[in-house]
Amino acid sequence: MRIATFNVNSITARLPRLLAWLETSGTDVLCIQETKCSAEQFPAAELRELGYESAVNATGRWNGVALLSRVGLEDVVTGLPGGPDYEGVEEPRAISATCGGVRVWSVYVPNGREVEHDHYGYKLEWFRALAGAVAEDAAGPRPFAVLGDFNVAPTDEDVYDPAVFAGLTHVTPAERAALEALRAAGLSDVFPRALKYDRPYTFWDYRMLAFPKNKGMRIDLVYGNEPFVKAVKDSYVDREERKGKGASDHAPVVVDLDL
């Protein structure tokens, strides 16, 4: 089974490229973040033509997550159980389902904006709720993984220059401690290979020629439990999908499982 996670940064803007990628990538299950559309606007019909069922948690022009599967889509749970609101709104940042015997979550963790911003506190609250919500599945016998845009670089080696990010979100001790809480719940970071490059970055800003200069970050992550990790045969960043006109500022992270 091939499972991937991809922050598409607007599924409407990225749809032609996404459909082409699905046709050639051999992906069985795809976790999508930043759909930036309502559930009614989600292109379920176009995806169905390629053999994918869809489960969507999306409410409008911001955020939004989805799961696509051609190996079954069962027991869908929309939202983060026990998750916090932001300014009175439950944002569409999580969705989970069972696909071909594997339980998967697609998550889009809040950005945090600035360390002093209330969005940063919301981000840490969201992480605490996530750790609690996944604990039972993480400890269970079924392959289980949380995939998505975590908006945290796990270590200094996961950013192109730690000095550039000093004092900013995505690299603070509290955010990295939130990832440690996931590991304590029984999940491990499935580290992808960096094809042709020293570091497997997954995000490059559109500005300042960040992608050609490989000034990136690894913030799109796969955290799996022991049965999931034992089944992993390969994992990599599909950097080619970040190239060219109309690309997202993220690249897909792909994991191959032998089940």
Q: How many CB atoms lie within 10 A of CB 112?
A: 22
Active-site residue, selected from the candidate residues 52, 137, 220, 250: 250
Give the pLDDT confidence score for residue 201 in this predicted structure: 97
Active-site residue, selected from the candidate residues 137, 149, 158, 238: 149
d(CA 191, CA 105): 17
Q: Please, which residues bridge with residue 74 across strands?
A: 98
Whether 108 is catalytic: yes
Instruction: Indicate the pLDDT class of residue 13, thresholds 50, 70 and 90.
Output: very high
Q: Please, which residues bridge with residue 57 across strands?
A: 65
Q: Is residue 122 part of a domain?
A: yes
Q: For residue 70, what are its two tokens?
A: 């051609």
- In the predicted model, what is the mean pLDDT of residues 41-68? 97
Q: Which helix (H) or strand (E) holds 78?
A: strand 74-78
CATH number for the domain harbouring residue 64: 3.60.10.10
Average pLDDT, the chain: 97
Q: Is residue 136 part of a domain?
A: yes
Q: Is residue 239 part of a domain?
A: yes
Q: Is residue 258 part of a domain?
A: no
Active-site residue, selected from the candidate residues 52, 108, 122, 201: 108
Q: Is residue 198 part of a domain?
A: yes
d(CA 201, CA 216): 5
Tell me which residue range forms the domain holding 44. Answer: 2-253
- In the predicted model, what is the mean pLDDT of residues 233-255? 97
- In the predicted model, what is the mean pLDDT of residues 97-125? 98
- Binding site: what residues are annotated? 7, 34, 149, 151, 249-250
Whether 250 is catalytic: yes
Give the pLDDT confidence score for residue 190 in this predicted structure: 98
- In the predicted model, what is the mean pLDDT of residues 243-249? 96
**Contact in structure between 169 and 217 (CB atoms under 8 Å):** no
Count structural domains, the chain.
Answer: 1
- Binding site for Mg(2+): what residues are annotated? 7, 34, 149, 151, 249-250
Give the pLDDT confidence score for residue 198 in this predicted structure: 79
Give the pLDDT confidence score for residue 194 in this predicted structure: 83
218-229 pLDDT per residue, tens: 999 999 999 999
Q: Is residue 116 part of a domain?
A: yes
Q: How many CB atoms lie within 10 A of CB 59?
A: 16
**Contact in structure between 201 and 218 (CB atoms under 8 Å):** yes
Q: Is residue 121 part of a domain?
A: yes
Helices 118-139 and 173-184: crossing angle, nearest 10°? 10
End-to-end CA distance of the chain: 7
194-238 pLDDT per residue, tens: 887 778 999 999 999 999 999 999 999 999 999 999 999 999 999
* Residue in this structure with the two tokens 């759909």, named with its chain if needed: 35
Question: Is residue 7's pLDDT more than 90?
Answer: yes
Q: Is residue 110 part of a domain?
A: yes
Give the pLDDT confidence score for residue 197 in this predicted structure: 79
Task: Pick 195 or 25 by higher pLDDT.
Answer: 25
Whether 119 is catalytic: no
What DSSP character marks residue 1? -
**Contact in structure between 194 and 237 (CB atoms under 8 Å):** yes
Give the pLDDT confidence score for residue 3 in this predicted structure: 98
